[in-house]
Amino acid sequence: MSCAFRAGDAFEDSMSDSSVNTDRRHRRMRRNVVLLAACQALYMTGTSTVVAVTAIAGGSLAPSHGLATLPFSLQFLVTTATTIPASLLMHRVGRRAGFLLGLGAGAIGAGLAAWGLFLHSFALFTVGSAVIGVLNGFAVFYRFAAADAADEAFKSRAISLVMAGGVVAAFTGPNLARLSMNWIGDVPFAGSFAVLIVVHLLAAMLLSGIDIPREKGGAVAVAARPIGAIVRNSIFVVALGAAAAAYAGMNLVMTATPPAMLAHGHAFASAAFVIQWHIFGMFAPSFFTGHLIARFGAPRMIAAGAALFMMCVGINLAGRDVMNFTVALLALGVGWNFMFIGATTLLAKAYSPAEKAKVQGLNDFVVFSGVAAASLASGAIENLFGWTAVNIAVVIPVMLAGLAALWLGQAPRARLAR
């Protein structure tokens, strides 16, 4: 009897320890997600500030009007070039170290941009803007870090919650740019870049509390497939296509909207209002997108996002009133949210832990190459062919992405398993 009691006590102690460990893992997981969401909010606040002022500030320094958007375009190109090295580096040194390195680059870039404005140096301002692109190349992996930190049941919700941090940016970024633009003497927008140094330092402080376990080496590393085998996987192809079509299509329409509104006689304040609600539409749904993905599946959410893109195009083509632009850009933002978060969730099914660094890096390299191309092409298409052509340009790639997602969603369950 005594032995039986001791065995029973040992079993209960073992079960109790297991329960305690599970609770600790869940608390750590949720704390990581909350901190990553806060870092995303600060990152997007900085990004929306940069979007609001870079072209205007560059135009005040550029030797010709045609070079006004060069600093912003270079920032996208550097972001694209950084994604794969950033992913591989974080695989070696961990997410936290990589994010801190990116924030350091962002602070340096913001400082150089502010200094360039203070010295009236277009070259220095351009270099600073380009260095900020290094931060972007690391920070785009916040959503993947959330996926790494979450278990399978919480993965889509974790990605959504981190992306929801961008809701803050819809209101803080433009207002921060406006309030800080004259903080440094008589140099417009130098203060807007200087204050970003503080934003990045706050994010670095939050990152000190993140604890994302690194993968162990050994046997799992041997199981990694060559990248050629991965890119032939239908899940990877659909996820990458959806993310690229969503981000490039959204950026194409969003970038062309302010000049299109000005060309149709609307005030800059109206254009700013439309962009603000567009950004809100991009991130506000993230509070429930994860729940929708868990219920309906990532392929259906991608298809729903593609349908919202088509709604945006239809509304934009139906009229040129402020209300048309506002509702269309709001639909565009929500459509991007459904497609991009759905694609990110789907991509996580296409790789093993040993493969994630190269797959995530390749995914974001392709996605942001498309974004860079869209940024460069948007103004040219609008100037040469008009607002109608900008909208029609997104129809085919987004529609194909939505149809491919529907096809994948009808596939046997075995195809959706890794």
Q: Please work out, in degrees rounded to the nearest 5, the angle formed at the alpha carbon of residue 73 by the alpha carbons of 72 and 78.
A: 100
- Residue given tokens 């927008």 in the structure block: 189
265-320: pLDDT as tens digits: 888 678 778 888 888 898 888 888 888 998 999 999 999 999 999 999 999 999 98
User: What mean pLDDT comes out for the span 385-411?
Assistant: 92
What pLDDT score does 49 carry? 81
With residues binned 3-state (H G I as helix, E B as strand, rest as coil), the percentages for the chain, rounded to 5, are 85, 0, 15
For residue 313, the model assigns a pLDDT of: 96
Q: Which residue has the higher pLDDT, 221 or 147?
A: 147
Q: How far apart are CA 332 and CA 313, in angstroms?
A: 9
Rounded Cα distance, 134 and 144, in Å: 17
| Residue 217 scores a pLDDT above 60 | no
Arithmetic mean of pLDDT, 343-356: 85
Q: How many other C-beta atoms can be found within 10 angstroms of the C-beta atom of residue 168? A: 18
Lowest mean pLDDT: which of 97-101, 214-218, 236-240? Answer: 214-218
- CATH topology for the 227-418 domain: Growth Hormone; Chain: A; (1.20.1250)
Please tell me which residue, 67 or 314, carries the higher pLDDT value. Answer: 314
Residue 213 has pLDDT above 70, yes or no: no
Residue 200: exposed, middle, or buried by beta-carbon count in 10 A (0-12, 13-18, 19+)?
A: buried
What pLDDT score was predicted for residue 166? 76
Measured between alpha carbons, how far is 67 from 63 in angstroms, rounded to an integer? Answer: 7
Residue at token pair 């759905």: 342
Residue 323: predicted pLDDT: 94
Q: For position 109, what pLDDT does the model report? A: 97
Residues 6 or more apart whose CB falls under 8 angstroms from that of 321 comprise none
Q: Tens of pLDDT along 227-261?
A: 778 888 899 999 999 999 999 999 889 878 877 88
The pLDDT value recorded for residue 229 is: 80
pLDDT at residue 6, rounded to an integer: 54
**pLDDT score recorded for residue 221:** 45
Architecture of domain 31-214: Up-down Bundle (1.20)
Alpha carbon distance 372, 352 (integer Å)? 29
pLDDT-wise least confident of 3-7, 155-159, 251-255: 3-7
For CATH 1.20.1250.20, list the domain ranges present in the chain. 31-214, 227-418
State the number of CA atoms in the 13 A half-sphere of 201 facing the CB: 8
**CA torsion, points 273, 65, 246, 325, in degrees to nearest 10?**
30
Q: What are phi and psi of 197, to 5 degrees?
A: -60, -40
User: What value does the mean pLDDT of the chain take?
Assistant: 83
Residue whose token pair is 């320890």: 17
Q: Which of 33-37, 64-68, 78-82 has the highest mean pLDDT?
A: 78-82
